Amino acid sequence: MTPANPRILPYGEAALGEAAALIRARQCVAVPTETVYGLAADATDSDAVAGIYAAKGRPSFNPLIVHVADMAMAETIARFGDEARALAARFWPGPLTMVLPLAEGSPVASLVTAGLATVALRMPDHRAMQGLIRASGRPLAAPSANASGGISPTRAAHVAASLAGRIPLVIDDGATTDGIESTIVDPATRRILRPGPVTAEQLPGYSSGATPGAITAPGQLASHYAPSKPVRLGAVRAEAGEWLIGFGVIVGDDTLSATGDLREAAARLFDALHRADASNRPRIAIAAVPLHGLGLAIQDRLARAAHPRP
Ligand code: TXA
Ligand code: MG
């Protein structure tokens, strides 16, 4: 009998060994980070990276984030100026991605960067992703481990449901702590390209928002992170047929954080959207979150979830 795909293995030496063997065999493996579960493949091998696009059904012009275990590996891939070095010292390992010029002789496959002269790089703060990079000896390209356009996965079960039959293995290390994708910055222009767990307040001198001419990638597509049901934002109570996701004093069928804590809300956000999508109500309503700190990243994901499908 063929085992059901994907297999879900608990984090440990055995799981890392199997996953590393799959990576070296140019396959992709789902692995948690502190932000969301990623679908990882050898960033230096274009066939392996093509497997990510195939499994996700992702349009191939979108560049991917490369994950490294240490600065030595990072510097073989990208060029670090003073500002990039300062950010790395302050925020790595952690949920910050930097867009940097490719290093001379960078081993990253051009499919990863979609042919750009820059690469998005991050050093994750998670034992499973760190362990897999070290065990495989490869930098790993990894977008979120969900079918393209779907809700980002914060648990192994989300990955298994979204990518059933399309990937061989998920390393299960429980729910992710941050719950939303990394903050992406361009140190050269001091712009925040995608809001995330590292907040604008922690990046003084950086301006927010996409710039004309910037690449459009899935995180920037208006209806990314979408549940399958219509979503209404800023709800104070549920209307007929709605599943209400509350926040603070707004009590719903579920809550992002009963105490109004934005860290907790970020960590629970995608999980709550998965539960709402799986509920027996045809529509989803979500309470407002305050628009500062992590609230900006949460609102960014919610606005995309609520945007009408193309
Ligand atoms: O938290 C995260 O960042 C997760 C986990 C798995 O690490 N990964 C993730 O990857 O969200 P992904 O592939 O969904 O995000 C890729 C984003 C694109 O939307 C694009 O905005 C940006 O990275 N990006 C990648 N390469 C870029 C480049 N050369 N220039 C500008 N933006 C780039
Ligand atoms: Mg994604």
Distance CA 139, CA 176 (A): 21
Residue range 177-204, pLDDT digits in tens? 999 999 999 999 999 999 999 999 999 9
And the tokens for 86? 């300062």
Residue at 239 is within a domain? yes
**Ligand 1 in reach of 177 Cβ (< 6 A):** no
Judgement on whether residues 201 and 145 belong to the same structural domain of the protein: yes
Tokens of 92: 């790595």
Total of domains in the chain:
2
CATH number, domain with residue 237:
3.40.50.11030
Can you say which residues are annotated as belonging to the binding site for L-threonine?
A: 35, 67, 122, 142, 182
The answer as to whether 206 is a domain residue is yes
What is the CATH classification number for the domain harbouring 54?
Answer: 3.90.870.10
Per-residue model confidence (pLDDT) at position 225 = 64
**286 with 242, same domain?**
yes
Same domain, 169 and 249: no
Q: For atom 6 of ligand 1, which residue has the closest CA?
A: 38
pLDDT at 218: 47
Same domain (yes/no): 37, 180: yes
Average pLDDT estimate for 105-114 = 89
Is residue 81 predicted with pLDDT exceeding 70?
yes
pLDDT at res. 223: 59
Q: Give φ, ψ of 20 to 5 degrees.
A: -65, -40
The answer to whether residues 238 and 151 belong to one domain is no
Note whether residue 40 is domain-resident.
yes
Instruction: Report d(CA 233, CA 92) in Å as an integer.
Output: 34
Residues 156 and 96 occupy one common structural domain: yes
> Is 184 near ligand 1, meaning CB less than 6 Å away?
yes
Which runs of consecutive H residues, i.e. helices, occur in the chain? 13-24, 46-56, 71-77, 82-91, 110-113, 127-136, 156-162, 262-278, 294-306
Is 217's pLDDT higher than 70? no
Q: Is residue 29 part of a domain?
A: yes
Per-residue pLDDT band for 214 (boundaries 50, 70, 90) equals very low
DSSP structure string for 14-58? HHHHHHHHHHHTT--EEEE-SSSEEEEEETT-HHHHHHHHHHHT-
Determine the average pLDDT of the residues in 138-156. Answer: 95
pLDDT in tens, 13-67: 999 999 999 999 999 999 999 999 999 999 999 889 888 988 988 765 578 999 9
Contact 283, 210 (CB under 8 A): no
Measured in Å, residue 64 CA sits from the centre of ligand 2 at 10
Q: Hey, which of 39, 53, 62, 65 would you mutate to test ligand 1's pocket, going by the most ligand atoms within 8 Å of its Cβ?
A: 65
CA atoms within 13 A on the CB side of 196: 24
- Judgement on whether residues 198 and 284 belong to the same structural domain of the protein: no
Mean pLDDT (whole number) for 119-146: 98
Confidence of residue 226 (pLDDT cuts 50, 70, 90): confident
Q: Are residues 44 and 160 in the same domain?
A: yes
Q: What is the pTM (predicted TM-score) of this model? A: 0.86
Could you tell me which residues are annotated as the binding site for ATP? 58, 62, 118, 144, 152, 194, 225
The DSSP letter of residue 127 is: H
Residue 252 belongs to domain spanning? 231-306
Q: Is 72 within the bounds of a domain? A: yes
Is 62 inside any structural domain? yes
> Does 273 reside within a domain?
yes
Q: Is the pLDDT higher at 215 or at 142?
A: 142
User: Are 250 and 130 within one domain?
Assistant: no
Q: Dmax of the chain from CA atoms?
A: 59
Pocket-testing residue among 36, 68, 92, 97, ligand 1, by greatest number of atoms within 8 A of Cβ? 97
Last residue of a domain, one of 151, 184, 216: 216
Average pLDDT in the chain = 91
